[in-house]
């Protein structure tokens, strides 16, 4: 069961930043016994892939901090992040459980894609509109920090991460439900005034 929590945490992390969780998994698999990657995922722990992930992490870090370039980066990452999430989910789930690879890839694609769409389609435009783009750098740094912490937690303490993800999901649902109820109550109150 921990493999599934780990898979969900890593793929959600990939929705924020494709390369940080892949680099963490690669390094942990290379230097520890916490993750043992099965074929074909053993390629993630090769020095070539680790080097490539370091370079891509640095490129994305700086590209996501530059105005206008960050929007172009998000467009490119619309493909990259879900694919990274699919790879991480499949690699994580396969090491501990017997989840079918196609189901693992699809689940990772959906989780990372959903997080990316929420980030690039809702969060970032709202930050850009409310701060005239000046808040994007701070939000980008926070996303990198959350992606790093989420990835480390997914590897080290996946059950706690699973509980936190469920709690966060419940909070998001409650938040939107409450907001809609307030709108409906306000509309009803205005209707009664007339």
Which tokens is 152 given?
A: 């480390």
Task: Examine residue 191 and state whether it is found in any structural domain, yes or no.
Answer: no
Q: For residues 147 and 139, what is the distance between their CA atoms, to the nearest angstrom?
A: 12
Question: pLDDT tens digits for 33-83?
Answer: 888 888 888 899 999 999 999 999 999 999 988 888 888 888 899 999 999
Q: Residues 6 or more apart from 123 whose CB is under 8 A from it? A: 139
Per-state percent for the chain, helix, strand, coil, to nearest 5? 85, 0, 15
Task: Examine residue 162 and state whether it is found in any structural domain, yes or no.
Answer: yes
| Structural domain of 27 | 2-169
Are the CB atoms for 66 and 84 separated by under 8 Å? no
How confident is the model at residue 97, as a pLDDT?
A: 59
Question: Is the whole model's pTM more than 0.95, yes or no?
Answer: no
> Residue 107 to residues 11, 12, 42, 86, 110: CA-CA distances in angstroms?
9, 10, 20, 7, 5
Task: Examine residue 140 and state whether it is found in any structural domain, yes or no.
Answer: yes
Task: Examine residue 102 and state whether it is found in any structural domain, yes or no.
Answer: yes
Task: Examine residue 7 and state whether it is found in any structural domain, yes or no.
Answer: yes
Which tokens is 186 given?
A: 């306000």
Question: pLDDT tens digits for 112-151?
Answer: 988 888 888 877 878 878 887 788 889 889 989 999 998 9
How confident is the model at residue 122, as a pLDDT?
A: 78
Task: Examine residue 153 and state whether it is found in any structural domain, yes or no.
Answer: yes
Task: Examine residue 189 and state whether it is found in any structural domain, yes or no.
Answer: no
Task: Examine residue 187 and state whether it is found in any structural domain, yes or no.
Answer: no
Domain total of the chain: 1
Given the structure tokens 């640095």, which residue do they identify?
58
């Amino acid at each position: 069961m921990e493999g599934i929590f780990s898979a969900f945490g890593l793929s959600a992390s990939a929705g924020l930043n494709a390369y940080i969780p892949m680099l963490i998994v690669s390094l942990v698999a290379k230097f520890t016994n916490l993750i043992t990657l099965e074929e074909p995922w053993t390629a993630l722990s090769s020095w070539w892939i680790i080097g490539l992930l370091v370079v891509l992490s640095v490129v994305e870090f700086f590209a996501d901090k530059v105005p206008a370039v960050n929007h172009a980066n998000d467009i490119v990452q619309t493909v990259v992040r879900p694919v990274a999430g699919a790879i991480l989910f499949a690699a994580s789930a396969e090491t501990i459980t017997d989840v079918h690879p196609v189901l693992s890839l699809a689940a990772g694609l959906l989780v990372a894609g959903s997080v990316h769409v929420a980030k690039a389609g809702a969060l970032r435009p709202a930050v850009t509109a409310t701060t005239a783009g000046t808040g994007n750098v701070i939000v980008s740094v926070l996303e990198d920090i959350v992606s790093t912490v989420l990835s480390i937690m997914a590897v080290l303490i996946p059950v706690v991460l699973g509980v936190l993800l469920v709690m966060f999901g419940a909070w998001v649902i409650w938040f939107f439900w409450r907001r809609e109820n307030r709108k409906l109550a306000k509309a009803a109150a205005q209707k009664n005034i007339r």
